[in-house]
Amino acid sequence: MTTREEDPRSSEDQRAQRIWAREAPRYDLWMRRFDRHMLRDGRARLCAPAHGRVLEVAVGTGLNLPHYPKDAELTGTDLSPDMLARARVRAADLGIEATFTEASATRLPFPDHSFDTVVCALALCCIPDDRAAVEEMRRVLVPGGALLLIDHVISHKFPVRMVQRALEPLMVRFADDHQLRRPLHLVTDAGFTVVERERYSLGVIERIVALKPGPE
């Protein structure tokens, strides 16, 4: 008798959904503290250049929603139904029209060239295959479209980096939260042109604006 081999992506997705089902009720509370001390005005600066058809990958509880331009046509995806439920409530409370879809960042349910802007905030650190996620973001962007990212990254300051290295095994084990990644390298490897970049908060936070190559 033969059995079908389990898709490893399915087990990763299920693990992520369990983690975020656990964290969803308290996510906004500890993110407010993180935003105050580390991210600061990063959400507003991240979302300001968004335009046209905007996709936010791993939208979470929708903390970025108030920062988008009023004329943006918003779509949000997240693997966690628990997080999406909170994003829908937040959008309704803010009077913001947005479409929310449960989906993996590595398998976005949209055709090629569907969006003018793709946004991802503090999520590539938690996606097992972050390279595949960036490739999917590139696929759904129109030629010339903008990729807007902000995340915590490995610091260029030695003492901070040593703390991150010490925390890495624990954070990955319990929250799938990688401390030593840097999306900038994935973005350039995917062929994007980085047009704006800043690092702050001891080099732990990095914000990137990058453009997909336009038609030749």
The token pair at 35 is 């935003």
In a domain, 45, yes or no: yes
Question: If you average pLDDT over residues 94-118, what whole number do you get?
Answer: 98
Which pLDDT score, from 0 to 100, does residue 216 have?
56
In a domain, 43, yes or no: yes
Q: Which helix (H) or strand (E) holds 63?
A: none
Total structural domains within the chain: 1
Which pLDDT score, from 0 to 100, does residue 4 have?
44
In a domain, 216, yes or no: no
Q: What CATH code is carried by the domain that includes residue 20? A: 3.40.50.150
In a domain, 3, yes or no: no
Range of the domain at 166: 8-211
In a domain, 16, yes or no: yes
Task: Output the pTM of the full model.
Answer: 0.94
Which pLDDT score, from 0 to 100, does residue 93 have?
98
In a domain, 199, yes or no: yes
Q: Which long-range contacts does 41-46 make (Cβ < 8 Å, 24+ apart)?
A: 42/121, 42/150, 42/205, 42/207, 43/67, 43/121, 43/150, 45/207, 46/119, 46/121, 46/148, 46/149, 46/150, 46/207
Whether 103 shows a pLDDT value over 70: the answer reads: yes
pLDDT digits (tens, 9 = 90+) for 30-80: 999 999 999 999 999 999 999 999 999 999 999 999 999 999 999 999 999
In a domain, 2, yes or no: no
State whether residue 150 is helix, strand or coil: strand
pLDDT digits (tens, 9 = 90+) for 149-164: 999 999 999 999 999 9
Whether 5 shows a pLDDT value over 60: the answer reads: no
Alpha-carbon span 27 to 75, nearest angstrom: 21
| β-sheet with 53-57: strand ranges across | 98-102, 73-78, 53-57, 115-121, 141-152, 205-211, 193-200
Which pLDDT score, from 0 to 100, does residue 32 have?
95
